[in-house]
Structure 1
Amino acid sequence: MFKKFFKYCQVCYDELAHKVTWPTSKELTGSAVLVLSASLIIALVVFVMDKIFEQIMSLVYPG
């Protein structure tokens, strides 16, 4: 059982160290900026929709 586990760990390490293509620093930064920008845009859209629905609800349920 321990031999199987040890072999599994060796295979995982070999794949991560030699077969996986890691992004460059420039690619990683570009992806991070893209995700941050998209998150901010989505948050802004949700905020605007919330304010619109708040106004609509205040007309429907005054008080």
Structure 2
Amino acid sequence: MTKVVNYISEAFEELRSNVTWPEWSEVQRLTIVVAVFSVIFALATWGVDEVFAKTLAGFFNWLKA
């Protein structure tokens, strides 16, 4: 148990002393960038899914005819 407590305290010390934290304005800007790219990627994925779904539906309708 002592090793676990020692590990956790050393990890917190590392975070306080050795990590360079970004400015709040940079955090906000990068959060917006990630959100925008997430929406764009989701829309692109949805679009490709719709195209494949319509293509497969058309193919199977063609086979039934």
TM-score (norm 1): 0.78
Q: Tell me the secondary structure at the aligned position of residue 22 of structure 2.
A: coil
What does 1:22-61 correspond to in 2, within 5 Å? 22-61=21-60
Percent identity over paired residues: 27
Paired positions, count: 62
Stretches of structure 1 lacking an aligned partner (at least 5 in a row): none
Q: CA deviation at 1:13?
A: 2.4
Counterpart-to-counterpart distance in 1, 2:4 and 2:59: 63
Q: CA deviation at 1:6?
A: 4.6
